[in-house]
Every structure is written in C-alpha cells, then in structure tokens.
Amino acid sequence: MVDHGVYRSGFPDASNLPFLENLRLRSVLLVVVVHGHVHTYVLLRGGGDVVLIRFDFSRCLCPEPYPEANQEFLRAHGIRLFQLGIDGSKVNANPFSLWAWASLAKPPRSWISGLNVHCRVLVGLTKEPFVSIPEDRIREALKVILDTRNHPVLIHCKRGKHRTGCVVGCLRKL
C-alpha cells in the first residue's frame, strides 16, 4: 500500500488475482512501454578483436499484451483500466559492463537464447538504470491516482520497480 486507496505491484499474473479481488479495486493504472531503442556497441577486446553487439531494448522492455485472464478479471469486477504509454528507454549506458559480458569466454547457454535474456544480464551488470518519463505522462498518472473516484487503484508496470517507482515517488512528493 502506497497510501490510503493506492497500491503498487509488479505485473499481476493469474495467481495474484484472488488477492487483488480482496482489494476491491476500482481502477488499474498500467504504466506500459510504447517503444524502446536499438543500441549498437563496438568493443575492443584483448588481442585486438573487435566485437559488435547490438541490443534491441524494445524487444526486452515492451510488455506482452495484457493477459486475457487479467482482462477478464477487470471486466468481471468492473475495474477500469488506465494505460499510460511511456518511452521504454532507460539511461544505464555503461558500455564497460558490456565489455565484461562480451569478454566471457563461454557465456552460459541461457544467456544466448534471446535478446530478452541479454538485456536482463546487461541490467544486472550495470548500476540500476534511470527511467526518463516525460512530465506530461507523470501529470496524467497523478490525475488518475489523485481522483478518489478511481480508488482503490493499483499502479503497476512490468516489474513494479522503475516506472511504477517514478510515479509513486512523484505522488509522495505532493
């Protein structure tokens, strides 16, 4: 609970829905990513090898479509869904950590199974990324949250950490 009538979480899955039912929510504010960025890094490894690494952050930051079970839950309980689209980029650029990743002699097979995994590893190797959310989007979110007709309201993004944290931090500063 963030404040009276305001909750936050990561992306709820089907196993969380019975708990959410107990909150008697009127609204859900979903802070979604609308797009990301592709970054290319050129790394010089020991021995003069040049490694080109391309990360498509849009593929690892964009959430999947809202699950049908969640949509059905909202419909069944008369819960209004507000979607706040924001840019998916995070400011974490620490190419040195990419160097560490690229320098591994044999990365575990799971690391090379998809870009989504690569991005998680990348974020894990760097300091926590900063999220840049435009001021107008924060204002939109705060209007939804401050309107008590929407309470109780649940704020969530993919993990309930960066984007949700920015919105909640701004709410707490009011």
> Which helix (H) or strand (E) covers residue 39, if one does?
strand 38-44
C-alpha 55/C-alpha 31 separation (Å) is 23
C-alpha 94/C-alpha 123 separation (Å) is 9
157 is catalytic: yes
Candidates 60, 62, 119, 157; catalytic one:
157
Q: Which residues are known to be catalytic? A: 157
